[in-house]
Chain A
Amino acid sequence: MKRFVIGVVLSFAAYAQQLETFDAVWKTVADKHWNPKQLEALPGGGSWEGLRESYRQRVQAANGQAEVRSILREMVAKIGKSHYAIAGLELKGTKGMRQGGGTAPGFRVGLVEGKVVVTGLSPGMTSVGMGWELLGVDGMPVIKTIEAAETLQTGLRLHQMLQTQIGGFSGQVVAYDFVTAAGVKKTVRVTIPQGDGSAGFGFVQGMNVQREFALIGKTKDIGYFRLDMFLDVVRVLPQFQKAIEQCAKCRGFVIDLRGNPGGVAVMANAMSGWFIKDSDVKLGTMYQRGVELKFAVIPRLNGFEGPLAILVDGASASTSEIMAGGLQDLKRARIFGTRTAGAALPSIIETLPNGDLFQFAVANYVSESGKELEGVGVKPDVEVAHTLAALRAGKDRPIEATINWIYANPVSTRRP
């Protein structure tokens, strides 16, 4: 009898928590969405107020946290914007897909001409070659298609899926099955490198932010800084400053934001300050409910005055788009690569009553030229993508395009 009573009490508590979680999600959107008018007419029809009761009843009848999460994901998807997500504590990916750790193995992959191939190598990676096709990881085939048809941010979703499959934990040995550029099948065991410490912000923790500075070009006089995520402010910004200082006499500078899904938004402002001379310059404007915030850039002393190129692709999102789009609009940077993800809304992550995380957008973002980046992305000035032939010859066509442009434009571009 006692067990029955405890069971009833626990069930009631779980049920109450399910509804509390629903109410938290519904009310947060109702109270904090930056434009209440958009909630009155959702993209697929109906209104946020109108869908409340039916979804609440479904959550009421749901059998467990996983089902509640699924219902809530469906509900927030009705808003039709990026940066709305419900995350459970356990990872749930595509069926049969390897769930690796958060550290990259020392190479990067992308989908090129229908194949998952190596598109970049970290300094010191010599056991894998550019353009090698990746077939499997730790005996599991690489999955390269997205289950549900998505017309929004497909490049970003796919990139995230691929990174999840190839990643590992520092010190772990992972087996990768390749077909080399010469057409030979080869398994390479890679020890996942140690990062220089984990980074994070708020509920996003344990990230290993990959960044790299090098001098490139035939005379090694072009600065190149790659950043795979806008996190780890404490390490990344001083390193970026050092890169700028080292590059005082460089002919040009390239910032590689390909595959960078975003992060701490003000890092875009901070990094942009090294390329701007004037005061009262902004990358764009953020519109919250009742508040407009300028994404101001504070000009730094002794910044870089030469030509600036920024590399982007379909997996460059959020803060990457704010930076690339803003500097493009200011005519300070020339953008190379492929159109970005179109997922540029500032967002917050909070904990729900059931312990899940709820990410929600708190503002709209409009770039300096007046363009909304959400759903549209940044269109490069020079559209250039990888090809299999170039990769197999060890060439990165987008980087080469930036180098050629810089050498052809030795005079500083306008530095606002």
Chain B
Amino acid sequence: MRILFLLAALSSCFAQSPTAERILDRYIEVTGGKDAYAKVKSLSILGTMEIKGQGVKGEMRMYRMDGSKYYTVVDLPGIGKQEDGSNGNVVWDKTVLGPRLKTGVEKFLAICAAGAMSEYGRGALEKDSCYSKAEVIGEEVVDGKTAYKLKMTPKEGKPEEQYYDKESGLLLRTKMVLPSPMGEVPIVAIVNEYRDIDGIKTPVKLTNEMGAVAMVMTFTSVKFNEAIPDAMFALPPEIQALVKAGRK
């Protein structure tokens, strides 16, 4: 009886939650490994964005390059082109509201997401990570799967919660609060589908829920290391004018 009790106690020790670092490292391992991520210097994505349930769907193109360069354009019928970009130094967007330079926390978080494979290629926190802290704060059932819940604290901005499938190690969803001209917007980003692209299991369908609105992004083409001309990341004339005018 005493021997059985001892064995039960020992097995419960081994069953303790892994550390946040281990969960983040495992995500990298199960999706392709650090070496595979390190080879990706640029990302070109073609797809669609749909405002769910409202009959609005348009083309989306995203380009990412190491050096914090990015450019995204979404063309929604009835609204037109909404653009978002960075030349590695100036971070901006051009939407229905007008052209704008991003500053402060908004700029920091935009740059964080701007690298070719962003944070998720880095595994556990390194000194140049956008996050200062990663903690496991529990487990939760998400979309029928038991997930580790991590609190990720960025160096600027509000903490976010990331949910990793206990069984597969894959990221299932992220809850975050992002700054915007309209104020702080709570967003739940759900990964609906992964696909193997050149040896890296890559999210190819995501749903962003913002209040009563859900936006579904579906990637029909994802290419790594495609040559992207520098002009793709050039500042549009309206943005150059804002920079020249010293606008913030």
A residues in contact (CB < 8 Å) with B = 32, 199-203, 231-234, 237, 264, 266-267, 269-270, 273, 279, 288-298, 300-301, 348-351, 362-363
A279 and B213 alpha carbons, distance in the complex (Å):
27
Least CB distance from B104 to A in Å reads 12
Query: Is A298 in contact with B78, judged by CB distance below 8 angstroms?
Result: no
Kindly list chain A residues whose C-beta atoms are within 8 Å of the C-beta of B13.
none
Query: Is B78 in contact with A202, judged by CB distance below 8 angstroms?
Result: yes
Q: Give the contacts of B203-248 with A (CB-CB under 8 A).
A: 210-213, 241-242, 245, 247-248
Kindly list chain A residues whose C-beta atoms are within 8 Å of the C-beta of B181.
294, 296, 298
Given the known inter-chain contacts A202-B55, A202-B56, A264-B96, please indicate yes or no for A32 contacting B212, CB distance below 8 A: yes
Closest 3 CB pairs of A and B: A201-B78, A362-B212, A296-B181
Interface with A: B65-73, B153-161, B182-190, which one? B182-190
What are the interface flags for B148-182 relative to A under an 8 Å C-beta threshold, 1 for contact and 0 otherwise? 00000000000000000000000000000000011
Least CB distance from A317 to B in Å reads 19
Kindly list chain B residues whose C-beta atoms are within 8 Å of the C-beta of A298.
97-100, 181
Q: Is B16 an interface residue (CB 8 A)?
A: no
Which residue of chain B lies nearest to A347 when distances are taken between CB atoms in the complex? Answer: B212
Which residue of chain A lies nearest to B53 when distances are taken between CB atoms in the complex? Answer: A350
Kindly list chain B residues whose C-beta atoms are within 8 Å of the C-beta of A351.
53, 55
Q: Is B89 an interface residue (CB 8 A)?
A: no
Some 19 contacts from A to B, beta carbons below 8 A apart, are A201-B78, A203-B54, A237-B96, A264-B79, A266-B96, A273-B98, A279-B248, A293-B183, A294-B182, A295-B182, A296-B181, A298-B99, A301-B245, A348-B212, A348-B213, A349-B54, A350-B53, A351-B55, A362-B213
B residues in contact (CB < 8 Å) with A = 51, 53-56, 77-80, 96-100, 181-183, 185-186, 210-213, 241-242, 245, 247-248
Kindly list chain B residues whose C-beta atoms are within 8 Å of the C-beta of A233.
78-80, 96
Least CB distance from A297 to B in Å reads 8
A294 and B180 alpha carbons, distance in the complex (Å):
9
Query: Is B211 in contact with A291, judged by CB distance below 8 angstroms?
Result: yes
Given the known inter-chain contacts A203-B54, A350-B54, please indicate yes or no for A290 contacting B247, CB distance below 8 A: no
Least CB distance from A198 to B in Å reads 11
Number of A-B contacts (CB under 8 A): 87
Given the known inter-chain contacts A233-B96, A295-B182, please indicate yes or no for A362 contacting B211, CB distance below 8 A: yes
Which single member of A32, A290, A296 contacts B182 (CB below 8 Å)? A296
Query: Is A290 in contact with B211, judged by CB distance below 8 angstroms?
Result: yes
Query: Is B182 in contact with A293, judged by CB distance below 8 angstroms?
Result: yes
Query: Is A293 in contact with B185, judged by CB distance below 8 angstroms?
Result: yes
Kindly list chain B residues whose C-beta atoms are within 8 Å of the C-beta of A264.
78-79, 96
Kindly list chain B residues whose C-beta atoms are within 8 Å of the C-beta of A267.
96
A295 and B186 alpha carbons, distance in the complex (Å):
16
A348 and B98 alpha carbons, distance in the complex (Å):
23
Query: Is A301 in contact with B213, judged by CB distance below 8 angstroms?
Result: no
Query: Is A348 in contact with B79, judged by CB distance below 8 angstroms?
Result: no
Kindly list chain A residues whose C-beta atoms are within 8 Å of the C-beta of B210.
291
B55, B80, B186, most chain A CB atoms within 10 A: B55
A200 and B96 alpha carbons, distance in the complex (Å):
15
Which single member of B56, B212, B247 contacts A288 (CB below 8 Å)? B212
Kindly list chain B residues whose C-beta atoms are within 8 Å of the C-beta of A203.
54-55
Which residue of chain A lies nearest to B97 when distances are taken between CB atoms in the complex? Answer: A298
A242 and B78 alpha carbons, distance in the complex (Å):
20
Query: Is B78 in contact with A231, judged by CB distance below 8 angstroms?
Result: yes
A81 and B6 alpha carbons, distance in the complex (Å):
66
Which residue of chain A lies nearest to B244 when distances are taken between CB atoms in the complex? Answer: A301
Given the known inter-chain contacts A233-B78, A298-B181, please indicate yes or no for A288 contacting B211, CB distance below 8 A: yes
A294 and B97 alpha carbons, distance in the complex (Å):
12
Kindly list chain A residues whose C-beta atoms are within 8 Å of the C-beta of B185.
291, 293
Query: Is A291 in contact with B186, judged by CB distance below 8 angstroms?
Result: yes
A161 and B51 alpha carbons, distance in the complex (Å):
31
A159 and B212 alpha carbons, distance in the complex (Å):
30
Least CB distance from A274 to B in Å reads 9
Kindly list chain A residues whose C-beta atoms are within 8 Å of the C-beta of B245.
301
Query: Is A201 in contact with B56, judged by CB distance below 8 angstroms?
Result: yes
A350 and B248 alpha carbons, distance in the complex (Å):
38
Kindly list chain B residues whose C-beta atoms are within 8 Å of the C-beta of A288.
211-212
Least CB distance from A257 to B in Å reads 18
Least CB distance from A232 to B in Å reads 8
Given the known inter-chain contacts A270-B98, A279-B248, A296-B97, please indicate yes or no for A202 contacting B54, CB distance below 8 A: yes
Kindly list chain B residues whose C-beta atoms are within 8 Å of the C-beta of A296.
97, 181-183
Query: Is A289 in contact with B213, judged by CB distance below 8 angstroms?
Result: no
Kindly list chain A residues whose C-beta atoms are within 8 Å of the C-beta of B212.
32, 288-289, 348, 362-363
Given the known inter-chain contacts A267-B96, A269-B97, A288-B211, please indicate yes or no for A234 contacting B80, CB distance below 8 A: yes
A84 and B111 alpha carbons, distance in the complex (Å):
41
Kindly list chain A residues whose C-beta atoms are within 8 Å of the C-beta of B80.
233-234
A295 and B183 alpha carbons, distance in the complex (Å):
9
A300 and B94 alpha carbons, distance in the complex (Å):
12
Inter-chain pairs besides A202-B56, A231-B78, 14 sampled, C-beta below 8 Å: A201-B78, A202-B55, A202-B78, A233-B79, A234-B80, A237-B96, A289-B212, A290-B211, A291-B185, A292-B183, A296-B182, A301-B242, A351-B55, A363-B211
